[in-house]
Structure 1
């Protein structure tokens, strides 16, 4: 009880959203379903595509669409930084991206009012677990066909999604390792 009260005092924006039981204790925070989280991720992909397109247009404008190898590699690093900035700023600022807000999902760090920078950075790096195994398989087996790459990604994503089935709180592996959790927000 004391730990819950202390966490509520440290995270005031969570307090009004938590329902209370008849005994006056905070009700347990609901974890969004795996289906809801994966659907939000698909929507996130569309939104991220728009952010990346804008970033590429800006990069091409600044570099005058240079085809130099340094400019091409620079674009990859730039897009990685833009992606990290988009997610980390969203998680630190409000606890959710636009897609997560639409699906009423929020990232929280228990005991903290906001997700700390280090935690957001760690969560971003660990979230590459969704894609890194597929990228390594494609590289190791020299897969170049669209169907082969798509199959590798589908298997990798499905494998990562199943990590939530083995977690007592139904959190994905990257959330468990980063010390964060996804919560389901009630309708306003």
Structure 2
């Protein structure tokens, strides 16, 4: 797992930023889940002509292509938002942002690791997310592995 650089905390927390709470993290996940379901729904409608208008039969090349296509759409959704501004639409609603040790949006590599490791966090029955409840910096397992932090921006008012 990545270790916190000695001066990283001061850089990550500059400007009144604080670590995200677990409840806000879950709120952003639920919001983004609605968007991901929409992306998968629209992506499936676009894919239907490839499969002749029918659901791909399990175990066929079309089924594998369909699954990889949907995974790519979800990957692009998260990674593009994280690298372009550090936040998805769900994170924007809760004033959350993913940052690296420099306090900037993650690199493509960090965002890709975070995406893959978030899959691991889910595969562990959500324990990778529960990790944030016990972590001193409120970092989930995938944030530790990617070298990122989920922070809350201060009120702009």
Return 5+ residue gaps in structure 2 as ranges: 1-6
* Cα distance change, pair 112–169 in 1 and its aligned pair in 2 (3 A): closer
Provide the rounded CA distance (Å) in 2 between the counterparts of 1:122 and 1:107: 13
In the alignment, is residue 111 of structure 1 matched against residue 99 of structure 2? no
Match of 2:134 among 151, 166, 174: 166
Provide the rounded CA distance (Å) in 2 between the counterparts of 1:112 and 1:102: 20
In the alignment, is residue 32 of structure 1 matched against residue 20 of structure 2? yes
Match of 2:52 among 64, 67, 72: 64
Provide the rounded CA distance (Å) in 2 between the counterparts of 1:83 and 1:176: 21
* Cα distance change, pair 120–70 in 1 and its aligned pair in 2 (3 A): same
Structure possessing the higher relative contact order (Cα contacts under 8 Å, 6 or more residues apart): 2
Partner of 1:74: 65
Cα RMSD after superposing both structures: 2.3
Provide the rounded CA distance (Å) in 1 between the counterparts of 2:64 and 2:102: 40
Moved over 4 A (4+): none
In the alignment, is residue 50 of structure 1 matched against residue 41 of structure 2? no
- Please report the TM-score for the alignment, with normalisation by the length of structure 1: 0.70
In the alignment, is residue 87 of structure 1 matched against residue 78 of structure 2? yes
Aligned partner of residue 131 in structure 1, secondary structure: helix
Bigger mean CA deviation after superposition, 72-81 or 163-172: 163-172
Return 5+ residue gaps in structure 1 as ranges: 9-13, 20-28, 134-155
Partner of 1:101: 92
